[in-house]
Amino acid sequence: MQKRIFQLALFTSFTAFTVNAQRTYEFENIAIPVAPDDGFEWELQDDFSDDFNYPDGMGKQSPLFTSKWDDSYNPDPAFKGPGATFWTTANSAINNITNRLEIRATPHTLDGDGNVNSVFCGVVSSKTKVRYPIYMEASIKVANVENSSNFWMLDSGGFNEIDVLEVYGGSPDPFFSQQMSTNFHIFDRQGPNGAINVDNTYQTFFQTNRDIPNYQTDNTGFWRDDFHQFGVYWKSPNEVTFYIDGQPTQNGNHFVEGRNASLLDGTYESAILQSPIPNDGNLPIDKGLLKNQVFREVFMIMDIESHHARPISPRADLEDSLKNLMEVDWVRTYKPVDDGSGASDRTRSITFKNRDTFIPAGEAEPAFSLGAVVPLDIEYATASTGGVEEDLNYVAIQIRQLDENGDAVATSEFEAVIPNEGPNRANTTINYSVPTEFENGTKIPTTEELPAGHELILLMFMSVDGDAGFANADDTIVIKAGRTRSISFNNKDSFIAPGGVFPEFVIGESAALNITYATALAGGVEEDLNYVAVQVRQVDGSGATVATTAFETVVPETAVNNDTVTVDYTIPSNFTTGADNSIIFTEKVPTTAQLPAGHRVLLLVFMLVDESDTGFAQANTDIVLKEQGDNTLTVGDFNTNNTAVAVYPNPAYKKLTIEGAFTTWKIYNLLGIEIAKGTDPEVNVADFIPGLYYVIFDNNTTNSYKLIKN
């Protein structure tokens, strides 16, 4: 594509700022694919826009480049790059012939056989950060290598990430080279750029032919074959829409094994949490909370990366200048600004949107229970006049008691639910924990306990411009007694043998389990009981599921919501379901003595509410499983009144010494499983798991000794 020439004179006499202000960009005749809201128009953000047409011929040294870009990773300058990536300034350049930004991947280090094991990659970041509402778009031809070509945004702490383009353009697997992904990441980190506790990922794949509803490699091309426009309209913290070649994304899929695969459009609203995988027992994060939304200022980044656990391109491809190249023809960013029509003006407001959902049948006021967590839908907006917005200070909630004259008697602690970095207007859900005490430490009364003429109100209020102005939404409410969701295995201790630790059961025999359960009750509104069920599960040393027995419902959905029952549960002899929740098999349930090292057996007693996976109350416990006639030792079998031997050091770390009158010894863990035996007076315990053990001598359980392993 031929670039347009700058409309300026005496170029060398202008500063970079003046030059940028007078530039005419080649993308200006390409329509922005989304319209701003009424009363707004798009305004180009020059600090985040470029067509890399530099008539001074200075490339990256041009003030036109250095005024807005750095050839480095600005979110965390100390980070070398993910996986096998080593970012380097040498792998980014401005081509003065094509007038494009070039980013390359080349070999960094080789193994003894000459294969590449780390990769030099180019990266370019914006010098400054930008935040919603914006439309960002780039025209890019991705590299024809295994490495990922990327156009994305990240804040300086690494908490919020938007990936507009991520594609392994040269992968021989068409799954990766014919599909590109859009991603949101909401990182839970141990501080800015710290270790990641949880990567909450929303991911959708798109093909070059987006009219095809399912992944079919014969009917779609490769992203590397041509330039494409990759855009994103980041309208608010929970409104993000991707655009490809000027069209909003549609018919996306997710085909990573074990993750959700369905028709997805890539928007934040419809995004399905893909990591951690909800199917594995992780509930999706609450996208209604600001902390789980994309709201931070971000850098714009264009780069190539060699990701962890992904193949590294062959050396020949990384040394091929036609294959190792990602080209950026242009990048542009626009913000919506007031168009002068007055249509963008708005008044300050705050509204309790879902008030009616908390009103019990036959009553007039919303009802809540002390201590209950309730989802409050709040719509708020700061004022805007002539395109000038009030600054948000906070949105907060309180409970207040008023007397018969309407004067405040007591108020609960102030809770800011939207901080000042939140959006100036939003419709959001706040999970509000109804307080049990006022700020002065006195108990918040239920409505029945109020003095005559008094009332309780729920205050939702917004502060703007440093407390200069407030908008309030106060509502009379009813406080009722409530209860929390719970379930308990009441007679657990009756199954523990004398001196034992865990309940013991015999495979195939019936056990009478006494269970108390209750759904939650908030403001007079009950959760719906779905069921109470029991299972036996085997887990490994990390707690991950190995296998589970058949699901047995012991209290059906037709039962009352709050009860104590005794159920006869037969301890099953066979598993039915594997760890992936789909493989059906009939392996025998092992006794505790037969378990692999570190594995445990659990008895799961759990309740599900509201006809979905949104609410569990669990009463799970480690158990010991035996067979009829099983001679596995229990803790109660041991007698530690032994004076015939000496065992030292105790606690022991690596080596244990036994002295005294004995012929043989055996060591058991707390589950009564034999883990070592011998005759040597010196015992290597270095590989033992730290904890309490029992040593018996000459097969006599009355001749035993307690041992602590450090």
**Residues 140, 18 share a domain:** yes
CA atoms within 13 A on the CB side of 302: 35
Number of domains in the chain: 4
Compute the average pLDDT of residues 100-119. Answer: 95
Judge whether 71 lies within some domain: yes
Last residue of a domain, one of 285, 308, 338: 338
Compute the average pLDDT of residues 103-127. Answer: 95
**Residues 283, 225 share a domain:** yes
List of residues 6+ apart from 362 with CB closer than 8 A? none
161 given a catalytic annotation: yes
166 given a catalytic annotation: yes
Percent of the chain residues topping a pLDDT of 90: 47
pLDDT exceeds cutoff 80 at 583: no
Q: What is the pLDDT of residue 578?
A: 65
Q: What is the pLDDT of residue 17?
A: 38
In whole angstroms, give the CA distance from residue 676 to residue 683. 9
Find the CATH number of the domain harbouring 618: 2.60.40
Burial class (CB in 10 A: 0-12, 13-18, 19+), 205: buried
Q: What is the pLDDT of residue 204?
A: 87
- Residue of 102, 161, 365, 504 marked catalytic: 161
Taking the model in full, what pTM does it have?
0.63
Please state whether the peptide bond connecting residue 503 to the residue before it is cis, i.e. omega within 30 degrees of 0.
Answer: no
| Host domain of residue 16 | 11-338
pLDDT exceeds cutoff 50 at 57: yes
Percent of the chain residues topping a pLDDT of 70: 89
Burial class (CB in 10 A: 0-12, 13-18, 19+), 699: exposed
pLDDT exceeds cutoff 50 at 18: no
**Residues 365, 230 share a domain:** no
**Residues 291, 155 share a domain:** yes
Judge whether 1 lies within some domain: no
pLDDT exceeds cutoff 70 at 19: no
Q: What is the pLDDT of residue 582?
A: 45
- Residue of 26, 166, 239, 305 marked catalytic: 166
Instruction: Tell me the pLDDT tens digit for each residue of 584-619.
Output: 445 788 888 888 888 899 999 999 987 666 678 888
Compute the average pLDDT of residues 164-185. Answer: 92
Q: What is the pLDDT of residue 219?
A: 64
Report the range out of 126-135, 357-366, 670-679 with the highest average pLDDT: 126-135
**What is the DSSP secondary-structure string of 169-187?**
TT-SSHHHHSEEEEEEEEE
Q: What is the pLDDT of residue 261?
A: 66
Residue count of the chain? 710
pLDDT exceeds cutoff 80 at 256: no
pLDDT exceeds cutoff 90 at 8: no
pLDDT exceeds cutoff 80 at 283: no
Last residue of a domain, one of 445, 465, 480: 480
Judge whether 343 lies within some domain: no
Instruction: Tell me the pLDDT tens digit for each residue of 286-331.
Output: 887 888 899 999 999 999 999 988 999 999 999 999 999 999 999 9
**Residues 304, 180 share a domain:** yes
Q: How does the average pLDDT of the chain come out, rounded?
A: 86
**Residues 132, 213 share a domain:** yes
**Residues 669, 574 share a domain:** no
**Residues 504, 389 share a domain:** no
Find the CATH number of the domain harbouring 78: 2.60.120.200
Higher pLDDT, 243 or 545: 243
pLDDT exceeds cutoff 50 at 193: yes
